[in-house]
Structure 1
Amino acid sequence: MPPRDTPRVRVGRKSTTREPIIQEADAPQVHEAEAAEPEATRREAGVTESSRANRGWWDRNADEYQSEHGTFLGDDRFVWGPEGLDEVEAELLGPAEELKGKDVLELGAGAAQCSRWLAGQGARPVALDISHRQLQHALRIGASFPLVCADAVALPFADASFDLACSAYGALPFVADPRLVLREVHRVLRPGGRLVFSVTHPIRWAFPDEPGPEGLSVSASYFDRTPYVEQDEQGRAVYVEHHRTLGDRVRDVVASGFRLVDLVEPEWPSWNTGEWGGWSPLRGSLIPGTAIFVCVRD
């Protein structure tokens, strides 16, 4: 299964506030995880169940996540995935010098390291995450831009509020219906705006989530879209991740009103000798681990 180590409600649609505090909408009640190790399974999980489970999981695990991966992510880097592809070199949002003055929405921002880099280029970012605890880490590191605790399926912003939107392993892998997110992003982007998002490469769902040789043999159907769920003893989901094939992702993008202009599959660089869950130099040299979709709102 894809790992949980992937970087990752509504306050009133007309909100355009730009102050550096955590703005939080009414959130659904989240059950605390049971002491027992959750059971991993494949079963259906809808929009509401997925949202509640993942909000709770990221709140409980934000400290450990930032402790384990904070050095790799840095305080103000924009890294697209475990391979280490940096926006400084990739320029998927455009040349850095053209970001100045742009309104940018980061979805599933975590501790908002990417937004901090954007702010350093003169952009005006807004960092949104479903986890309040993740955004508290953004405050700890230091954020001079708005932090919004909200669900990406119902963005609390007015139409045409942003020039750019981005997401590095945030939000989209964890929602039951990614078109809900994509249509919301389409709504809040201005005409000509760009959306760039990275997710676990869909082919990884056919392989065991292991960094070594055992992770190189196909063990499941690539076409099985049944979600990966971890549930407690009462059968309540405490973590959910959703699989879409590469074709599904393309169709989601197009059906949501975007034009796909690039699909980037980063190769594993020689300098990166570390492992991140199921991502490793061994697997990364043989099969893609990340897919980055570059989309334009016409």
Structure 2
Amino acid sequence: MVGGVLRHGPAHSVAGALLRPYRRTAHNGRMTHLGSAGYRDVPDDQGGNAARGWWDAEAPEYLVEHGETLGAADFVWGPEGLREADAHLLGDVAGRRVLEVGAGAAQCSRWLRAQGVDAVATDVSAGMLAAGRELDRTTGMRVPLVQADARALPFAASTFDVVFTAFGAIPFVPDAGRVHTEAARVLRPGGRWVFSVTHPVRWAFPDDPSAHGLTANRSYFDRRPYVETDTDGAVTYAEYHRTLGDHVRDVVAAGFVVEDVVEPEWPAGRTTVWGGWGPVRGAYLPGTAIFCCRRR
């Protein structure tokens, strides 16, 4: 979600404020303290189920901190500020049915509906969807909001013309192939699937927006997830790394053709710093990768 953007590495939170030691986190409906953070393997079920509770707890703070940047009804693909209004990565969506997964508070879908598009938004987090309903109330623009795991969408096959996510769902699950398979299932033949993620090369570098973040300190091929646990050892947050090749193989296996991979450049004069994204690193390293795919 850039309605749910993420973080990786103990130095920062792209989804919220700088990672604070002993930050309180939600787990099984209770609040706990951060016990550990780092790169390590965890059972898939624990890592894959952590996002719901983390985003439920993080939603209010996240939207207070980043609401002005994201807007209530704007479609931003990543921290570089690339907007769908300029990029047109979804193609011509006039008269089309569009699904957003990992929508967060559904800012992107709200923008699409303002353009007259039949857009539906889903997210696994009840907290983020509650924030979306509040934005509906304050803007007077209603978006159909559905709580759903992107790996098990509650829609019939061949229901949508376009499916997309801006930094949602894919980074937070160990089995991203299931997200792509579900996107393919609910798309009509020839339908478009577009998703943005942290550019994979970033995982080799510290998540620091200063010049310190320009020196690689990890292997690009180390696919261990970034994991946070509470003081009892329970996984409260997990984010998964995939190489460019991994992403391509996943979408091809799900029945897609990759038509383009967009790597937005950092715009001249943009001074915004969002976690590890900012003008210093942006001048040298890509921060976002956007995959534009079509169902065969």
Give the alignment's TM-score, normalised by structure 2.
0.89
**C-alpha distance 32-104 of structure 1, shift in aligned 2 (>3 A):** same
**Equivalent residue, structure 2, for 1:283:** 281
Q: 2:110 aligned to 116, 119, 123, which one?
A: 116
Which range moves more in the overlay, 197-206 or 271-280?
A: 271-280
Q: 1:45 aligned to 42, 46, 59, which one?
A: 42
**Equivalent residue, structure 1, for 2:93:** 99
1:248 CA displacement: 0.5
The answer as to whether partners of 2:123 and 2:129 remain within 8 angstroms in 1 is yes
Q: Distance in 2 between matches of 1:181 and 1:38?
A: 30
Q: 1:145 aligned to 133, 143, 146, which one?
A: 143
Q: Distance in 1 between matches of 2:82 and 2:209?
A: 19
Q: Distance in 2 between matches of 1:265 and 1:203?
A: 11
The answer as to whether partners of 2:194 and 2:292 remain within 8 angstroms in 1 is yes
Q: What secondary structure is seen at the aligned counterpart in 2 of 1:36?
A: strand
For these two proteins, the number of residue pairs brought into alignment is: 274
**Equivalent residue, structure 1, for 2:14:** 5
Percent identity (aligned): 54
Q: 2:125 aligned to 112, 117, 131, which one?
A: 131
Mapped pair 1:293 → 2:280: no
Which range moves more in the overlay, 265-274 or 219-228?
A: 265-274
The answer as to whether partners of 2:158 and 2:187 remain within 8 angstroms in 1 is yes
1:154 maps to a residue whose letter is A
Q: Distance in 2 between matches of 1:233 and 1:192?
A: 48
Mapped pair 1:67 → 2:64: yes
Q: What secondary structure is seen at the aligned counterpart in 1 of 2:151?
A: coil
Structure 2: which 5+ runs fail to align? 1-7, 17-25
Give the alignment's TM-score, normalised by structure 1.
0.88
Q: What secondary structure is seen at the aligned counterpart in 1 of 2:41?
A: coil
- Displaced runs of 4+ in structure 1, greater than 6 A? none
Q: Distance in 1 between matches of 2:73 and 2:95?
A: 18
Q: Distance in 1 between matches of 2:177 and 2:13?
A: 22
1:31 CA displacement: 1.8
The CA deviation string for residues 85-125 of structure 1, in whole angstroms up to 9 with x for no partner, is: 0001100001xxx3222111101101100001111121111
**Equivalent residue, structure 2, for 1:240:** 238
Q: Distance in 1 between matches of 2:34 and 2:15?
A: 20
**Equivalent residue, structure 1, for 2:228:** 230
**Equivalent residue, structure 1, for 2:52:** 55
Q: Distance in 1 between matches of 2:195 and 2:32?
A: 34
Q: Distance in 2 between matches of 1:294 and 1:6?
A: 23
Structure 1: which 5+ runs fail to align? 8-28
Q: 1:249 aligned to 247, 250, 256, which one?
A: 247
Mapped pair 1:31 → 2:28: yes
Q: Distance in 2 between matches of 1:168 and 1:145?
A: 17
